[in-house]
Amino acid sequence: MDMDGPAMTDGFHLVVDALKLNGIDTIYGVAGIPITDLARLAQAEGLRYLGFRHEQSAGNAAAITGYLTQKPGICLTVSAPGFLNGMVALANATTNCFPMILISGSSDRSIVDLEQGDYEELDQMNAAKPFAKAAFRVNKPEDIGVGVARAIHAAVSGRPGGVYLDLTAVTLSATLDLDTASKSLVKVADPAPAQIPAPESIKLALDLLASAQRPLIILGKGAAYAQADADIRSFVEKTGIPYLPMSMAKGLLPDDHPQSAAAARSLVLGKADVVMLIGARLNWLLAHGKRPSWSGTTKFVQVDISPTEIDSNRPIVAPVVGDIKSAVAALLASLKPGLIQPSAAWLDAIAANKHKNTERMAVRLDADPNPMNFSSALSAVREALKDRPDVYVVNEGANTLDFGRNIIDMFEPRKRLDSGTWGIMGIGMGYAIGAAVVSGKPVIAIEGDSAFGFSGMEIETICRYRLPIVILVFNNGGIYHGDPVGTAPSPTGFVHDARYDTLIGAFGGVGYHVTDKSSLSKAVTDALRAGKPALINVVIDPTAGTESGHIQNLNPKMALAK
Ligand SMILES: Cc1ncc(C[n+]2csc(CCOP(=O)(O)OP(=O)(O)O)c2C)c(N)n1
Ligand SMILES: [Mg+2]
pLDDT at 556: 87
The pLDDT value recorded for residue 554 is: 87
The model carries a pTM of 0.97
Q: Return the residue whose CA atom lies nearest to atom 25 of ligand 1.
A: 424
pLDDT in tens, 15-38: 999 999 999 999 999 999 999 999
Atom of ligand 1 nearest to the CA of 449: 16
Per-residue model confidence as pLDDT tens digits over 416-442:
999 999 999 999 999 999 999 999 999
Q: Give the list of residues 6+ apart from residue 66 with CB closer than 8 angstroms, or none.
A: 72, 73, 93, 98, 99, 100, 155, 156, 160
Q: Which atom of ligand 1 is nearest to the CA of 403?
A: 21
pLDDT at 299: 98
Q: What is the pLDDT of residue 553?
A: 85
Task: Give the distance (Å) from ligand 1 centre to CA of residue 398.
Answer: 5
For ligand 1, atom 6, name the residue with the nearest CA. Answer: 425
Q: Is 426 in the pocket of ligand 1 (CB under 6 A)?
A: yes
The predicted pLDDT at position 562 comes to 60
Ligand 1 and 376: CB distance under 6 A = no
The model's pLDDT over 110-161, given as tens digits with 9 standing for 90+, comes to 999 999 998 999 999 999 999 999 999 999 999 999 999 999 999 999 999 9
- The 3-state secondary structure of 62-110, one letter per residue: HHHHHHHHCCCEEEEECCHHHHHHHHHHHHHHHHHCCCEEEEEEECCHH
Give the pLDDT confidence score for residue 3 in this predicted structure: 62
Nearest CA to ligand 1 atom 20: 480
Instruction: Report which bound ligand comes closest to the CA of 373.
Output: 1
Q: How far is the CA of 475 from the centre of ligand 2 (A)?
A: 6
pLDDT tens-digit series, residues 247-277: 999 999 999 999 999 999 999 999 999 999 9
Q: Is the CB of 450 under 6 A from ligand 1?
A: yes
Please give the helix or strand (H or E) that residue 510 lies within, else none: strand 510-514
**Ligand 2 centre distance from Cα of residue 464 (Å):** 27
State which amino acid sits at residue 134. Answer: A
Ligand 1 midpoint to CA 302 (Å): 31
Q: Beta strand pairing status for 175-177 and 8-10?
A: antiparallel
State how far the Cα of 313 lies from the Cα of 197, in Å rounded to an integer: 22
Q: How far is the CA of 21 from the centre of ligand 1 (A)?
A: 41
Instruction: For a ligand 1 pocket test, name from 88, 373, 425 the mutation site with the most ligand atoms within 8 angstroms of its C-beta.
Output: 425
Q: Which pairs with CB-CB distance under 8 Å and at least 24 residues apart come from 128-132?
A: 128/83, 128/87, 128/90, 128/102, 128/164, 128/166, 129/164, 131/87, 131/90, 131/91, 131/94, 131/162, 132/90, 132/91, 132/94, 132/102, 132/161, 132/162, 132/163, 132/164
**Spans of the chain, pLDDT less than 70:** 1-3, 561-562
Which atom of ligand 1 is nearest the CA belonging to 478? 16
